[in-house]
């Protein structure tokens, strides 16, 4: 588990992962588990993993026109890349599924339309708007996760749709735990289940947030997983594409741009120096800002670490970019946030204050400022 104490702060000596990151570990060189994984990937037998993929796909491939796998997509680079690979490289018939985010961005909508026009069967799911708002608001207040309702639906509704269509295989993009420094439970076994989803990807808060919301069964339809009995009948393998192929977000971007019509933002995204990822919803900027207040690292740190690990940037460059961009307050979306959560500015700031790590930050002139310097 990451250590949030200022006195125990350290950064990976290879990238810039912080010791505050949940489930992070360091070796005797000071390398984090994400860098260790990047190092390991250089000597992994990817041919063997490719054969594992072929075997998995052969079990699920259909020749009668029915969908044989499901890919969650937003129109962004990763879901587009996975869908493209499954359809055009592997000969599968994927059903692409989008859970409409609460505060979609125009660029995200345009990219999603371009993806669909590039030749994919696609379903957009729009969960009950009021229920999504309440779950997102509850997640924001109770666990410091501003789009928790949407995250739940990204897991639960996709599993539910797979069961409805009799699809036995779901491909998410990268395994964030393995790729970015977390649990290594799935680095050798790529298949996981709903229990793992709830514990790791929903941060153990699933049952509590649903209970606290007070929403009815009807309102929670796209937020609840199928019953255990249904999952026994419709056995679904859930996995990540990154297990089977060396994951490279920039390559994904280039492929999605060429084959799926992906367009990047005109300028850099809020809180970072990149412009080609997470362009689908306004709440992502708030999510990474709260992450910064909780742990001391934000969107620029995450992006810089990825660039260092793939050899596109040295550590000194990464430090400079993180110092420049990390932890930017998402001013441009504030009116949207207040209207969406139905909060006053004071109520909103009180939630941010609740989640700010007082060992890492102090409040000066109404804004949280770091007590540490990234090194």
Along the 375 residues of the chain, how does pLDDT read in single tens digits?
Answer: 355 555 689 999 999 999 999 889 999 999 999 999 999 999 999 999 999 999 999 999 999 999 999 999 988 889 999 999 999 999 999 999 999 999 988 888 999 999 999 999 999 999 999 999 999 999 999 999 999 999 999 999 999 999 999 999 999 998 877 887 766 777 778 898 888 888 888 877 888 899 989 999 999 999 999 988 788 888 899 999 999 999 988 899 999 999 999 888 775 666 676 655 555 688 999 999 999 999 999 989 999 999 999 898 999 999 999 999 999 999 999 999 999 999 999 999 999 999 999 999 999 999 999 999 999
Do residue 157 and residue 76 come from a single domain?
A: yes
Task: Let me know if residue 249 belongs to a domain.
Answer: no
Q: Which of 185, 210, 243 is the last residue of a domain?
A: 243
Domain match, 140 and 56 both: yes
- Choosing from 227, 243, 259, the residue where a domain stops is 243
Same domain, 101 and 51: yes
Residue 204 and residue 332 in one domain: no
Q: Which pLDDT belongs to residue 32?
A: 94
Residue 220 lies in domain: 46-243
Helices and strands in the chain, H and E counts: 16, 7
Please check whether residue 330 is in contact with residue 283, taking contact to mean a CB–CB distance below 8 angstroms.
Answer: no
User: 256 near 81, Cβ under 8 Å?
Assistant: yes
Residues 234 and 272 in one domain: no
| Dihedral, 244, 246, 248, 254 alpha carbons, nearest 10 | -70
Same-domain pairing of 238 and 274? no
For residue 254, being part of any structural domain is answered with no
203, 283: one domain:
no
Say yes or no: 183 and 72 in one domain.
yes
Considering the chain, what percentage of its residues have pLDDT values greater than 70?
A: 94
Q: Evaluate whether residue 251 is within a structural domain.
A: no
Number of domains in the chain: 2
Residue 34 lies in a domain: no
- The answer to whether 213 and 135 are in contact (CB under 8 A) is yes
What 3-state class would DSSP assign to 172?
Answer: strand
Q: Is residue 253 part of a domain?
A: no
Instruction: State the Cα–Cα distance between residues 267 and 60, nearest whole angstrom.
Output: 42
Same domain, 222 and 327: no
- Shared domain check, 191 and 118: yes
Instruction: Quote the crossing angle between the two packed helices 283-295 and 345-355, to the nearest 10°.
Output: 40
The answer to the question of residue 39 being in a domain is: no
Q: Do 277 and 235 belong to one domain?
A: no
Global pTM value: 0.90
173 and 302 within one domain? no
Q: What is the CATH number of the domain that holds 193?
A: 3.40.50
Is residue 262 in a domain? no
What do you get for the CA distance between the two ends of the chain, in Å? 21
What pLDDT sits at residue 267? 59
Classify residue 15: in a domain, yes or no.
no
CA-CA distance, 259 to 236, in Å (whole number)? Answer: 29
Q: What is the pLDDT of residue 1?
A: 39
């Amino acid at each position: 588990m990451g250590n949030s104490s200022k006195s125990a702060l350290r950064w990976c000596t290879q990238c810039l992962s912080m010791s505050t990151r949940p489930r992070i570990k360091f070796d005797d060189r000071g390398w984090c588990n994400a860098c260790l994984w990047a190092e390991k990937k250089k000597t992994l037998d990817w041919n063997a993993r490719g054969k594992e993929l072929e075997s998995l796909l052969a079990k699920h491939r259909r020749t009668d026109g029915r969908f044989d796998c499901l890919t969650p997509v937003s129109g962004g680079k990763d879901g587009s890349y996975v869908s493209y690979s499954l359809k055009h490289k592997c000969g599968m018939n994927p059903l692409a599924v989008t859970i409409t985010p609460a505060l979609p961005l125009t660029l995200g909508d345009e990219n999603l339309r371009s993806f669909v026009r590039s030749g994919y069967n696609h379903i957009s799911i729009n969960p009950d708007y009021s229920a999504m708002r309440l779950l997102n608001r509850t997640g924001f207040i109770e666990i410091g996760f501003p789009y928790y309702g949407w995250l739940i639906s990204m897991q639960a509704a996709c599993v539910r749709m797979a069961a409805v269509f009799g699809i036995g295989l779901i491909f998410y993009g990268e395994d964030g735990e393995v790729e970015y420094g977390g649990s290594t439970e799935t680095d050798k076994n790529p298949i996981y289940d709903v229990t793992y989803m709830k514990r790791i990807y929903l941060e153990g808060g699933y049952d509590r947030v649903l209970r606290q919301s007070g929403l009815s069964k009807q309102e929670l339809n796209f937020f609840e997983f199928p019953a255990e009995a249904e999952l026994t009948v419709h056995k679904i393998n859930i996995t990540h594409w990154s297990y089977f192929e060396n994951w490279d977000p920039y390559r994904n971007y280039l492929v999605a741009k060429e084959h799926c019509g992906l367009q990047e933002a005109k300028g850099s995204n809020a809180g970072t120096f990149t412009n080609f990822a997470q362009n689908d919803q306004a709440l992502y900027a708030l999510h990474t800002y709260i992450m910064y207040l909780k742990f001391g690292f934000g969107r620029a740190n995450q992006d810089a670490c990825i660039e260092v690990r793939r050899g596109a940037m040295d550590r000194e460059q990464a430090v400079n970019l993180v110092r420049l961009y990390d932890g930017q307050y998402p001013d441009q979306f504030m009116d949207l946030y207040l209207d969406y959560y139905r909060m006053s500015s004071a109520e909103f700031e009180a939630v941010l204050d609740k989640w700010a790590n007082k060992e890492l930050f102090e409040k000066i002139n109404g804004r949280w400022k770091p007590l540490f310097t990234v090194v």
